[in-house]
Amino acid sequence: MLALRMPWPLPALVAWACAWLIFVALQREVPPVAALLVACLLGTAASVLGDSWWRRGLIAAGFPLSLALLGAATLPTWAWLVPLALLLLVYPLNAWRDAPLFPTPHHALQSLASQAPLPLGARVLDAGSGVGDGLKALRHAYPAAQLEGIEWSWPLRLLCALRCPWARVRRADMWAEDWSPYRMVYLFQRPESMARAAAKAQAELATGAWLVSLEFAVPGVLPCAQLRAPGGRVVWLYRMPLNRVEA
């Protein structure tokens, strides 16, 4: 996507400028609070295009912060809860305990099928699918697989479904869902959640199924293979049952 190829801080500047243009234009037609809502909604939606957590926060918060500092609108005190409510809608608190929105690079999984072959029509889950970058990378690796995504945030789930119409994308809690129907579960989480993911995979995935993690390894478990993705990131492959390191 063009926004992802823009050098920083261009994506933030474009998002802020668009939010301001919409806010100024709408003030002539609707109450200031409604104009604030639409402009903040645009900024929050644009935040998913940031390539790191802090950049996404800056994109989303830039317009309301600049509006507050400039005092360019007369708004009731409660109206300043609108940006916070929108952020919580897109990034719910329980999702913060897992990974923030980490997009999978397009070609990160291009060699995965050679190390982890799957039968035709195998079900593959992207656990925490975000806006669909992981599903796109999985489709590139396994064009004949049945791809599914789970995402807790319903705006992100909607965007993911729009970007990946060939996949089944559901709003659900990845930790509460049963992983047993899948031949592979793909994750791009964070280090603190990898032990929990491994325990769930060990308990629910069938023998021979795969747990695949981009960037972060499972502590205390030997991987079956490692792939070096473009850009230097590592893809960790684990096959069930897990091969734990002896203490």
For 63-73, the pLDDT digits (tens) are 777 777 666 55
pLDDT value at 3 more than 50: no
Tokens of 187: 């994750």
The side-by-side arrangement of strands in the sheet containing 210-214 is 168-171, 146-151, 123-127, 184-187, 210-214, 234-239, 225-228
Whether the model clears a pTM of 0.85, i.e. scores above it, the answer is no
Cα(237)–Cα(210) distance, integer angstroms: 7
- pLDDT of amino acid 202: 97
- pLDDT of amino acid 121: 96
Question: Alpha carbon of 12 to those of 45, 125, 158, 206: distances in Å?
Answer: 12, 32, 23, 44
Cα(247)–Cα(33) distance, integer angstroms: 60
Strands 234-239 and 210-214: antiparallel
Of 175, 176, 167, 170, the residue nearest 156 (C-alpha): 170
Give tens-digit pLDDT for 98-141: 455 567 888 899 899 999 999 999 999 999 998 899 999 999 99
Residue with tokens 């609070």: 33
- Please give the residue that has the higher pLDDT: either 99 or 188: 188
Tell me what percent of the residues of the chain surpass a pLDDT of 90: 46
Cβ atoms within 10 Å of 136's Cβ, excluding its own? 20
Confidence of residue 51 (pLDDT cuts 50, 70, 90): low
What is the biggest distance separating any 2 CA atoms in the chain, rounded to whole angstroms? 69
